[in-house]
Chains A and B, each alone.
Chain A
């Protein structure tokens, strides 16, 4: 009998609707919150335009080869991370398990960051914005003390949003508003990943393209703001001396690495759903270049807005000084303006120095305001929200900004969840008995319940811990084993043959050299440098303590031993599977070779498996 007509799944594996969906998913996975709030910060503190040099060198010698490797691997073996690495070599199965575990850990805390974004988003519909005014204290005589001493924006973030405890050991209570937002976020993630790539493929059209629209709007608006040019000049002025500092090269390498979302297993999962004869080489180069260009493109509006914020702060400082001078000397209005401030103050200092000294004027320096560099959550929830208040129609800008952040994070979450979901689907017991929707529902529910611990009072300290220890070191280790595994266990020659079968041409000299020597070496150097730097400084964190004597400065505290143990566990756990699985298979092999009646294991063929 003939096969029923119109059956697209010859081997039962879901497929992307079209190539554009696949590329867009990879780009959406790679382009995330880090492109917006980490890259501009790094550019700023590492000598502006000069940072682009180590960045592009790292991209060419580390990012693109590894990206191509992962995409080619997934496409050829047509399996998720666990299955793919087991197929490469049973001794390398631990790499797949490590990747899978990493995706789990990162999905947990990444969605909590999205919770914060959602909380700010739903609070942006008010007039006035809740982070623009301080609440009053109990007897209505003045403002709330904590808010008054820091700023309204800080108060809203640390008290109204996080309700942060002064110490990581103080658990605090579950913040019900964050729990609600967390539930909503996981519901949205479930909605989009219910049927795997079938649903994320549709959602990605919106979540991957929308941020570019918003960035363009912010770019146009940001460039019209006063002070934008100062911010941009500050960002991009190259300081070539900075290249002598090895820290800069390390930061560039790690930034490229984390920015491209390598070693999560998500890219392998995505490429396993594309057709076997797809040109993965072109895909890899496209995704990497789009990711880098997005980082650059995002830094322009960010720094225009930050320049605007610095300029406004500088003008406020000047205005306050001018008012006190005018009041003191009873001069008419507009006699001292911002432009003639310096000359006027010099004249007055010559004529009445003791009066000027008595005023205790704060020195206003634009450079100082520009130097207040922030990255990460500080950029989005403190610096940018403060800038938004100063713009006309602040609600609209806040809503746009937070929906953009949400889409950026959501498209990265798709990749993380896919990295968890796809290997689970390949375990026969699970895929036969549980429908896809139920499996993804179970994953989202378990993740939601586990992530509740991040909504405690000390939650943000724990997210920092996860980010620094689970989201950094293990990735380097897994990536190193990925590269060396393919280069020296699977052998590059065989891999090149596979790539030739898929793309129609043999990988050229650039790929051969980078896969064999340069990238593994570079990864090793980065890993060693990273570990040495981590060991040198004792792990500490900055706590928000209203009772601190130098409040609103943050208090530097050291992690207690049990927290340090958890940090080490987070870093080591994904990596430990690599040697464990290798040893396990070695023992199995030895036991089998001792048993003479056993059939020798068949030479493994890496044809596309029917999954």
Chain B
């Protein structure tokens, strides 16, 4: 926004408001605030005259204290900040940074660590289970192999002992084959 006479009027009003709040004297008027040397830069000098006697000026320290107390309100009246609305000789105090009760990074660290430890435990437990299963399987296989050796040897599903016991049957088809082949 452009700086014009209306803004100057607002400024005077705000300074008067600050003086009233500070000294609790409800007598300071807008006309008590005087601006001079207004430049294009929008910088100027201002004094506050005592409302009782229209000639003397209020000491600078009082004005400074009043403005310091109400800096926030003055800034927001003009939609400006401490950097953009500067009162020379009134340095702004720096607000301390907000410190949460637990540092945020500890929380994030806790999350990361818990996830990692959960993963490790899962892997170790599954590894132990796998090893137990493998041991059980290999021991089962060994038992099975032992059992196989004890079983009777099979030949086409017929136990070998039974086959051996019978005398060999002569197969009639082949017995009569002699005359089929040509003699050498």
Enumerate chain A interface residues (CB-CB to B < 8 A).
Answer: 1, 4, 118-119, 121-123, 125-126, 128, 133, 135-136, 140, 142-143, 177, 180-181, 183-184, 187-188, 190-191, 194-195, 199, 326-327, 329-333, 435-437
Interface of chain B residues 91 through 132 with chain A (CB within 8 A): 93-94, 96-97, 104-105, 108-109, 112-113, 116-117, 119-120, 123-124, 127, 131
A140: contacting residue among B93, B117, B127, CB under 8 A: B93
A122: contacting residue among B96, B108, B145, B148, CB under 8 A: B108
Given contacts A125-B108, A194-B120, is CB(A332)–CB(B40) below 8 Å? Answer: yes
Pairwise interchain contact B109-A181, C-beta atoms closer than 8 A: yes
Majority secondary structure of chain B interface residues (helix, strand, loop or mixed) = helix
Given contacts A191-B119, A332-B40, A332-B41, is CB(A180)–CB(B94) below 8 Å? Answer: no
Asked whether any CB of chain A lies closer than 8 Å to the CB of B42, the reply is: yes
Q: Which 5 A-B pairs have the closest CB atoms?
A: A332-B40, A330-B39, A330-B41, A122-B108, A122-B105
Chain B proximity of A459: nearest CB distance (Å): 19
CB-defined contacts of B104 to chain A, threshold 8 Å: 123, 125-126
13 other A-B residue contacts (CB within 8 Å) besides A122-B112, A128-B97: A140-B93, A140-B94, A181-B109, A184-B109, A184-B113, A190-B120, A194-B123, A194-B127, A195-B123, A331-B40, A332-B40, A333-B41, A435-B131
Chain A proximity of B104: nearest CB distance (Å): 5
Interface of chain B residues 118 through 156 with chain A (CB within 8 A): 119-120, 123-124, 127, 131, 141, 145, 148
Asked whether any CB of chain A lies closer than 8 Å to the CB of B43, the reply is: yes
User: Could you give 8 example pairs across A and B, Cβ below 8 Å?
Assistant: A1-B145, A1-B148, A118-B112, A135-B97, A142-B94, A187-B120, A330-B40, A437-B123
Chain A proximity of B36: nearest CB distance (Å): 14
Pairwise interchain contact B124-A437, C-beta atoms closer than 8 A: yes
CB-defined contacts of B109 to chain A, threshold 8 Å: 122, 180-181, 184
Pairwise interchain contact B141-A187, C-beta atoms closer than 8 A: no
B96: contacting residue among A119, A140, A435, A437, CB under 8 A: A140
Enumerate chain B interface residues (CB-CB to A < 8 A).
Answer: 39-43, 93-94, 96-97, 104-105, 108-109, 112-113, 116-117, 119-120, 123-124, 127, 131, 141, 145, 148
Cα(A133)–Cα(B93), bound, Å? 15
Majority secondary structure of chain A interface residues (helix, strand, loop or mixed) = helix
CB-defined contacts of A143 to chain B, threshold 8 Å: 94
Chain B proximity of A599: nearest CB distance (Å): 37
A187: contacting residue among B40, B93, B117, B148, CB under 8 A: B117
Chain B proximity of A1: nearest CB distance (Å): 6
Q: Which residue of B lies closest to A177 (CB)?
A: B105
Chain A proximity of B120: nearest CB distance (Å): 5
Pairwise interchain contact A191-B105, C-beta atoms closer than 8 A: no
Given contacts A125-B108, A195-B127, is CB(A327)–CB(B96) below 8 Å? Answer: no
CB-defined contacts of A125 to chain B, threshold 8 Å: 104-105, 108
CB-defined contacts of B42 to chain A, threshold 8 Å: 332-333
Pairwise interchain contact A435-B145, C-beta atoms closer than 8 A: no
Pairwise interchain contact A136-B96, C-beta atoms closer than 8 A: yes
CB-defined contacts of B120 to chain A, threshold 8 Å: 187, 190-191, 194
B41: contacting residue among A1, A188, A327, A436, CB under 8 A: A327
Cα(A284)–Cα(B148), bound, Å? 51
A331: contacting residue among B41, B113, B116, B131, CB under 8 A: B41
CB-defined contacts of B117 to chain A, threshold 8 Å: 187
Chain A proximity of B162: nearest CB distance (Å): 25
Cα(A143)–Cα(B96), bound, Å? 10
Chain B proximity of A435: nearest CB distance (Å): 7
Pairwise interchain contact B127-A188, C-beta atoms closer than 8 A: no
Cα(A435)–Cα(B43), bound, Å? 79
Given contacts A142-B94, A330-B39, A330-B40, is CB(A184)–CB(B105) below 8 Å? Answer: no
Q: Which residue of B lies closest to A436 (CB)?
A: B127
Chain B proximity of A223: nearest CB distance (Å): 30
Given contacts A123-B105, A187-B117, is CB(A437)–CB(B94) below 8 Å? Answer: no
Pairwise interchain contact A133-B97, C-beta atoms closer than 8 A: yes
CB-defined contacts of B119 to chain A, threshold 8 Å: 191
Chain B proximity of A318: nearest CB distance (Å): 17
Chain B proximity of A134: nearest CB distance (Å): 9
Cα(A536)–Cα(B39), bound, Å? 64
CB-defined contacts of B131 to chain A, threshold 8 Å: 435
CB-defined contacts of A136 to chain B, threshold 8 Å: 94, 96-97
Cα(A191)–Cα(B114), bound, Å? 12
Chain B proximity of A194: nearest CB distance (Å): 5
CB-defined contacts of A118 to chain B, threshold 8 Å: 112
Chain B proximity of A192: nearest CB distance (Å): 9
Cα(A436)–Cα(B120), bound, Å? 13
Chain A proximity of B143: nearest CB distance (Å): 13
Pairwise interchain contact B41-A187, C-beta atoms closer than 8 A: no
Pairwise interchain contact B113-A187, C-beta atoms closer than 8 A: yes
Cα(A116)–Cα(B98), bound, Å? 24
Cα(A187)–Cα(B109), bound, Å? 12
CB-defined contacts of A119 to chain B, threshold 8 Å: 105
Cα(A448)–Cα(B145), bound, Å? 47
Pairwise interchain contact A330-B94, C-beta atoms closer than 8 A: no
CB-defined contacts of A436 to chain B, threshold 8 Å: 127
CB-defined contacts of A140 to chain B, threshold 8 Å: 93-94, 96
CB-defined contacts of A327 to chain B, threshold 8 Å: 41, 43
Pairwise interchain contact B148-A191, C-beta atoms closer than 8 A: no
CB-defined contacts of B93 to chain A, threshold 8 Å: 140
Q: Which residue of A lies closest to B97 (CB)?
A: A133
Cα(A187)–Cα(B121), bound, Å? 11
Q: Which residue of A lies closest to B141 (CB)?
A: A4
CB-defined contacts of B113 to chain A, threshold 8 Å: 183-184, 187
Pairwise interchain contact A126-B105, C-beta atoms closer than 8 A: yes
Pairwise interchain contact B124-A194, C-beta atoms closer than 8 A: yes
Chain B proximity of A132: nearest CB distance (Å): 10
CB-defined contacts of B145 to chain A, threshold 8 Å: 1
Chain B proximity of A331: nearest CB distance (Å): 6
Cα(A4)–Cα(B138), bound, Å? 10
Chain A proximity of B114: nearest CB distance (Å): 10
Pairwise interchain contact B127-A437, C-beta atoms closer than 8 A: yes
Pairwise interchain contact B41-A326, C-beta atoms closer than 8 A: yes
CB-defined contacts of A194 to chain B, threshold 8 Å: 120, 123-124, 127
Cα(A332)–Cα(B39), bound, Å? 8
Cα(A604)–Cα(B146), bound, Å? 39
Cα(A119)–Cα(B112), bound, Å? 12
Chain B proximity of A588: nearest CB distance (Å): 39
Chain B proximity of A144: nearest CB distance (Å): 11
Chain B proximity of A173: nearest CB distance (Å): 19
CB-defined contacts of B40 to chain A, threshold 8 Å: 330-332
CB-defined contacts of B127 to chain A, threshold 8 Å: 194-195, 435-437
Cα(A387)–Cα(B127), bound, Å? 46
